[in-house]
């Protein structure tokens, strides 16, 4: 699924934060239904991404202009935004590609490994000390991946599993970039420049791939853009009322929506291997979130004691 960042929390309302994040998970699950439907209708993945990103630019411009806050979109870190946009664009290609190659429940379950990849990257890239709890969660999560993917001959195509895992890896990598940008940038500034930079290469490719569309396809593209942007706003709004470690657990509710929509819209229910593997991945993510929360509390107490 898509990642957001937190600005300093203005209101501590944890129950509101959980409800908003729960809504974000549902909205983004609906967005993935539109992704699958629009690509099945014959629209290329590149064009799908273009129409997903394009509306964000004028909408945010109009939003900040109406509030007299256009200066918020200014940034002295445009190269960092450009790098984040290219990484994010690659992640969106993989994420949307996984949805086209796999049933929704399987794509969503494998997407949850982003928390596991984040631990791996924290140890290898950020040189953070990773203890036995989080390494144990990594092993648990990858055990769940093996149960779902069944490399020896499972029900899902190996390419689809590889693309879904690649998407999760990119989400973890992007989270490191966003963590850095969030130190100086407004959350919606990051969203704006991601859309503005990523839409350029997509627009350049458009003349070579665009085709005429039926009203049904245009409706699907409109729904994709609408729910994608709404989901991004809800992710950001949730973090205005609660901490990341508290609200991120609601993201796992998207597996319920993915299973429901997979059955209702596409007539597909996950097999036994997914029901066995998904809880291992979700459990690993929850263990990581719990451990991160405990470590943050320990650091806060240590700072108070100094």
Question: What digits encode the pLDDT tens for the residues 27-49?
Answer: 999 999 999 999 999 999 999 99
Q: Which pLDDT belongs to residue 3?
A: 42
Calpha distance 102→157 (Å, rounded): 8
Lowest mean pLDDT of 6-15, 159-168, 174-183, name the range.
6-15
In tens, the pLDDT along 227-282 reads: 988 887 787 677 667 665 566 677 788 888 999 999 999 988 888 888 888 888 88
Task: Please report the pLDDT score of residue 48 as a whole number.
Answer: 93
Is-contact 190 175, C-beta < 8 A? no
Residue 135 pLDDT greater than 60, yes or no: yes
CA within 13 Å, CB half, 32 = 35
Predicted pLDDT of residue 6: 39
Helix, strand or coil for residue 1?
coil
Sign of CA dihedral 235, 249, 240, 167: negative
- Cα angle 113, 118, 123 (rounded to 5 degrees) comes to 135
Sign of CA dihedral 250, 256, 257, 259: positive
Least-confidence region, from 52-61, 133-142, 157-166: 133-142
pLDDT for 42-86, tens place per residue? 999 999 999 999 988 999 899 899 999 888 888 889 999 999 999
pLDDT of residue 49: 93
Higher pLDDT among residues 305 and 13, named by residue: 13
pLDDT at 92 over 50: yes
The CA-based diameter of the chain, rounded to the nearest angstrom, is 65
Q: What pLDDT is stored for residue 162 in this prediction?
A: 92
Specify the pLDDT at position 187: 78
Domain spans of the chain, in order of start: 14-305
SS3 283: helix
């Amino acid at each position: 699924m898509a990642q957001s960042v937190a600005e300093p929390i203005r209101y501590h309302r944890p129950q509101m934060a959980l409800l908003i994040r729960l809504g974000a998970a549902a909205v983004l699950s609906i967005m993935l239904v539109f992704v699958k439907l629009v690509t099945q209708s014959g629209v290329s993945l590149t064009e799908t991404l273009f129409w997903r990103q394009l509306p964000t630019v004028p909408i945010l411009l109009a939003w900040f202009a109406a509030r007299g806050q256009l200066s918020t979109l200014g940034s002295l870190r445009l190269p960092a935004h450009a790098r984040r946009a290219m990484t994010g664009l690659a992640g969106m290609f993989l994420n949307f590609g996984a949805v086209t190659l796999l049933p929704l429940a399987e794509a969503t379950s494998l997407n949850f490994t982003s928390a596991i990849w984040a631990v791996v990257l924290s140890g290898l890239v950020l040189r953070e000390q990773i203890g036995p709890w989080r390494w144990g969660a990594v092993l648990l999560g990858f055990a769940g991946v093996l149960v779902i993917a069944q490399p020896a001959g499972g029900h899902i195509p190996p390419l689809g599993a590889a693309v879904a895992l690649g998407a999760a890896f990119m989400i973890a990598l992007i989270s490191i970039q966003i963590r850095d940008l969030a130190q100086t940038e407004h959350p919606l500034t990051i969203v704006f420049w991601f859309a503005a930079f990523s839409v350029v290469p997509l627009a350049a490719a458009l003349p070579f791939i665009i085709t005429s569309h039926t009203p049904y396809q245009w409706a699907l593209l409109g729904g994709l853009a609408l729910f994608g942007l709404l989901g991004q706003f809800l992710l950001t709004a949730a973090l205005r009322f609660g901490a990341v470690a508290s609200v991120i657990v609601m993201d796992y509710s998207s597996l319920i929506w993915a299973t429901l929509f997979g059955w209702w819209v596409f007539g597909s229910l996950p097999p036994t291997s997914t029901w066995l593997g998904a809880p291992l991945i979700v459990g690993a993510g929850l263990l990581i979130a719990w451990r991160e929360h405990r470590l943050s509390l320990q650091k806060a107490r240590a700072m108070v004691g100094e």
